[in-house]
Amino acid sequence: MTTLSPPPGTSRPDREAGPSHSGPPLPRRRRILPDRLRRAGLPYLLLLPALVLEILIHLGPMAVGVTMSFKELTQQYIRDWSAAPWTGTDNFRIAVDVNAPVGEALLHSFFVTCAFTVLAVSLAWLLGVTAAILMQESFRGRGVLRALFLTPYALPVYTAVITWSFLLQRDGGMVNHVIHDQLGLTDSEPFWLIGDNSFAALVVVAVWRTWPFAFLILMAALQNIPKELYEAAHVDGAGMRQQIRRITLPSLRPVNQVLVLVLFLWTFNDFNVPYILFGKSAPEAADLISIHIYQASFVTWDFGSGSAMSVLLLLFLLLVTGGYLLVTGAGRKRDV
């Protein structure tokens, strides 16, 4: 690797220069640039569009976001935010000061998000792995069931959650109709979208939406387990349960490591489900961190403080992901 790619325009004059002799001769091809240069420059050229976009829309704004977290960026500076005064670490100090209202609310939201994530991810995984194992063998109607199970995941998130908010209404909702009118489990109709029950509602909706993804991935992974393993185990007298414990689950290990991480990141960062289910102000029991930051930024128009919270969130996710990859060794499996 010696040189970077020259910009495309500079290669034009070389075209007239005729075949170059620096590269190893290839039959039937006209040399535009020395082969070595072409080989070195091409990958960068191919990467260029992706790189430009990632830098402009992903990494750039992230840098801006980190910068913003050190500024006092309230409504009055929104038109020209470079004029906003630097505030050092004030935004961070306010965000982590758990004795003040802002920090206390953020900490509460963090705990709610942790509880929500642990519950939702484990339930989604459990349902996914159960269904995948049960549907490993072919049976009548399997294709239909599989399509049905995948549908909640395929639905656009807003239509799915809007439907759930219809089901979870206090007065005309299906859920209350079943548990109150039909089964008589409760004395009065509970609220699901406000108050403490909103946490349960959030978990159910999130699981309903994400377990099909676990199911899809695990089903694909199960197909890669060689049949011979099960046959050998059967010959050795292993029962169904032992086969699952000794063959299926260990074979799924690498997939599970990635799957759980992906589910964790999605669920922890989930904005859509609470936003559509509860609107702009989530009930305290279901105040997920994304929606909390959104509210802190767009409702109060304090972007500096919102950015500081986002940066803290990112640091936490980096820490957890890094730790997870170290512990499980999932990062070493694949040469990226």
Partner 1 sequence: MSEATATATADGTADGGTGGTAGDGTAGGTSRKPGGHLAGRASGAGGRKGPGRVSPTAPPRSFIWTRRVVLTLLTIFAATPLLVMVSSSLKPLQDVSDRFRWIPSSLTISPYVDIWSTVPLADYFLNSLIVAGAATGCSVVIATFAAYAVSRYRFRGKRLFTVTILSTQMFPGILFLLPLFLIFVNLGNATGVALYGSRGALIVTYLTFTLPFSIWMLIGYFDSIPRDLDEAALTDGCGPLGALVRVVVPAAVPGIVAVAVYSFMTAWGEVLFASVMTNETTRTLAIGLQGYATQTQVYWNQVMAASLVASVPIVAGFLLLQRYLVTGLTAGAVK
Backbone phi, then psi, for 196, in 5-degree steps? -70, -30
Taking CB under 8 A as the binding criterion, the range among 17-25, 86-94, 194-202, 231-239 that sits at the site for partner 1 is: 231-239
Name which of residues 103 to 132 contact partner 1 (CB under 8 A). 127, 130-131
Taking CB under 8 A as the binding criterion, the range among 20-28, 88-96, 102-110, 194-202 that sits at the site for partner 1 is: 20-28
* Choice between 171 and 187, CB closer to partner 1: 171
Name which of residues 191 to 230 contact partner 1 (CB under 8 A). 208, 212, 216-217, 219-224, 227, 230
**Selected binder of partner 1 within 96, 105, 118, 157 (CB under 8 A):** 157
83 binds partner 1 per the rule CB under 8 A: no
6 binds partner 1 per the rule CB under 8 A: no
Q: How far is the CB of 32 from partner 1 (least distance, A)?
A: 9
* Choice between 86 and 158, CB closer to partner 1: 158
> How many residues touch partner 1 (CB under 8 A)?
121
Name which of residues 250 to 269 contact partner 1 (CB under 8 A). 254-255, 258-259, 265, 269
**Selected binder of partner 1 within 17, 98, 115, 240 (CB under 8 A):** 240
11 binds partner 1 per the rule CB under 8 A: no
3 state DSSP class of 95: helix
- Chain-centre distance for alpha carbon 248: 26
Residue 8, C-beta contacts closer than 8 angstroms, at least 6 positions apart: 45
Using CA atoms, how far apart are residues 281 and 287, in angstroms rounded to an integer? Answer: 8
**Selected binder of partner 1 within 75, 114, 166, 329 (CB under 8 A):** 166
DSSP state of 84: S
3-class secondary structure per residue, 153-188: HHCCHHHHHHHHHHHCCCCCCHHHHHHHHHCCCCCC
Taking CB under 8 A as the binding criterion, the range among 8-16, 95-103, 190-198, 295-303 that sits at the site for partner 1 is: 295-303
Q: Inter-axis angle of helices 249-268 and 197-222, to 10 degrees? A: 140
Using CA atoms, how far apart are residues 16 and 285, in angstroms rounded to an integer? Answer: 71
Using CA atoms, how far apart are residues 21 and 18, in angstroms rounded to an integer? Answer: 9
